[in-house]
Homo-oligomer: A and B are copies of this chain.
Amino acid sequence: MDDVELSELLHLVTRRLRHGYLHRLEPLGLTPGQARALRALIDAGRPLRMVQLADQLRIVPRSVTPVIDALEEAGLVRREVDPANRRSTLVVITDAGREVYERAREARRQAGQDLFAVLTGEQRDQLRELLGAVEAQFG
């Protein structure tokens, strides 16, 4: 029964985070989803196919298309045909993409800092552990 309250809290806190992040990201012309896609590419350290990107972002491939469309139009990534498999599209991050991502990362850091301001470092670690355990139980 108290899980209802816990769920509600999760919803409220996440929305607050989104809100702050969205505003800080606005000057960069990025949405949170686009920033996440850039991050996935940087973390991978190599170009990713659309399906792989979808996998990383935990969304269906169809939903990746508009995200990459926007990033490509902004010159932050480019699409290349995978020479190994002509059905596949490789998404390559550009230098501009790397630069913008650094600023997006800072935006997220600040949004998180604002949000979690009341928590001590130790409490944040705790929170990270708890959420990490929850997420880890799935894929």
Contact = CB atoms under 8 A, between A and B. Distances in A.
How many copies of this chain sit in the oligomeric assembly? 2
B113 A3 contact: yes
B7 A111 contact: yes
- How many interface residues does chain A have, given as a range? 35 or more
Interface in A105-139: 105, 108-109, 111-113, 115-119, 123-124, 126-128, 130-138
Given A6-B116, A7-B115, A119-B133, 6 more contacts: A3-B113, A6-B112, A6-B131, A7-B108, A13-B134, A119-B130
A32 B6 CA distance: 15
Nearest to A112: B3
Contact of A126 (B113, B124, B130): B130
A118 to B, nearest CB: 5
Interface class of chain A by DSSP: helix
A117 B109 CA distance: 29
A39 to B, nearest CB: 8
A58 interface: yes
A60 interface: no
A16 interface: yes
Interface in A80-100: none
A13 B10 contact: yes
